[in-house]
Amino acid sequence: MELIVLGCSGSGAGPHSPASGYLVRAGDTSLVLDLGNGAFGALQRHMDPFDLDALVLSHLHPDHCADVSGLIVHQRYHPDGPGKVVPLHGPTETEVRLAVAYAPSSDERVATDLSDVFTYRPFAQGPGAIGPVALTSAPVDHPCEAYGIRLEHEGRSLVYSGDTGPCRELVELARGADVLLCESTWSDGPERPPGVHLSGRQAGRTAREAGVERLLLTHVPAWADGPALLAEAREEFSGPTELVVPDGHYTI
Ligand SMILES: [Zn+2]
Ligand SMILES: [Zn+2]
């Protein structure tokens, strides 16, 4: 598999990166994990959106799904369209929330039906597949319904934390993975609220406890000190660890 970072700025787009979005290629299959502010523009640098095989949304905070509205417009109204119907794996409320985000007026919301663009596959239905890629998910610890996601293809595995505080569910989901793409939003400290995000230290600890091969840190907000979060993670996890960068390619 190949991971291409569309955006990795935590909690919103920053001056140097869109918000969260990741393109994963596995053989001829292309899927996107999250599509936050600005990530759809970056996606068009790396592929023709009409070739997208699936969209996977970890949760419905805008920094992870705001650009789905742009994808809808592209699929419907691009001169070469309409695009094919794309499977969309997400939380329970995905269908209604995307309709509200897309339709500006209450009349339009009632009439909005996105079934020409997406087929919904809630995570609650259990494990799924995107072509040859096996998808499993686990609920993680965030203020809204949120999931960590594990993708497996030809014996290789990528686990994405989404947004979460420290939790056993993420450790178990990431057990033995080749790569853990893990959020690291703030520095470690007792004042941090529980059940929201991971510090660099907690991301490193998660990687160590799960026994992953490699740790990729993401979701660093524009105001945070990325190298300091990386140093925290490296104190906990001795395997290869780095901060991802926009447009970075990572082979799994
Ligand atoms: Zn976020
Ligand atoms: Zn969030």
CATH number at residue 24: 3.60.15.10
How many A from CA of 210 to the centre of ligand 1? 22
How many A from CA of 59 to the centre of ligand 2? 7
User: Quick check: 162 and 140 in contact, CB under 8 A?
Assistant: yes
**Exposed/middle/buried for residue 28 (C-beta within 10 Å: 0-12, 13-18, 19+):** exposed
Q: Which ligand minimizes its atom distance to the CA of 183? A: 1
CB atoms inside a 10 Å sphere around CB 251: 9
Q: How far apart are CA 188 and CA 106, in angstroms?
A: 43
> How much of the chain is in helix, strand and coil states, percent to nearest 5?
30, 30, 40
Q: Which ligand minimizes its atom distance to the CA of 10? A: 1
Residue identified by tokens 């690291």 is: 184
- Provide the pLDDT for residue 82: 94
How many A from CA of 202 to the centre of ligand 2? 17
CB atoms inside a 10 Å sphere around CB 218: 25
How many A from CA of 56 to the centre of ligand 1? 14
Q: How far apart are CA 198 and CA 194, in angstroms?
A: 9
Residue identified by tokens 């994808």 is: 71
How many A from CA of 180 to the centre of ligand 2? 18
How many A from CA of 155 to the centre of ligand 2? 30
How many A from CA of 129 to the centre of ligand 2? 24
- Provide the pLDDT for residue 90: 98
Count helices and strands (H / E) in the chain.
Answer: 8, 14
DSSP β-bridge partners for residue 183: 218
Half-sphere exposure of 64 (CA within 13 A, CB side): 26
- Provide the pLDDT for residue 184: 98
- Provide the pLDDT for residue 108: 80
Q: List average pLDDT for each run of 10 residues in the chain, which is 252 residues long.
A: 98 97 98 98 98 98 97 96 96 93 80 92 96 98 98 98 98 98 98 97 98 98 98 98 98 98
How many A from CA of 131 to the centre of ligand 1? 27
How many A from CA of 168 to the centre of ligand 2? 18
Residue identified by tokens 């990325």 is: 226
| Residue 240 amino acid letter | P
- Provide the pLDDT for residue 143: 98
Question: What is the count of structural domains for the chain?
Answer: 1
Q: Which ligand minimizes its atom distance to the CA of 64? A: 1
How many A from CA of 61 to the centre of ligand 2? 5
Residue identified by tokens 């941090």 is: 192
How many A from CA of 79 to the centre of ligand 1? 33
Residue identified by tokens 């790569």 is: 179
Q: What is the DSSP letter of 10?
A: T
Range of the domain at 80: 2-251
Q: How far apart are CA 46 and CA 161, in angstroms?
A: 23
pLDDT digits (tens, 9 = 90+) for 201-240: 999 999 999 999 999 999 999 999 999 999 999 999 999 9
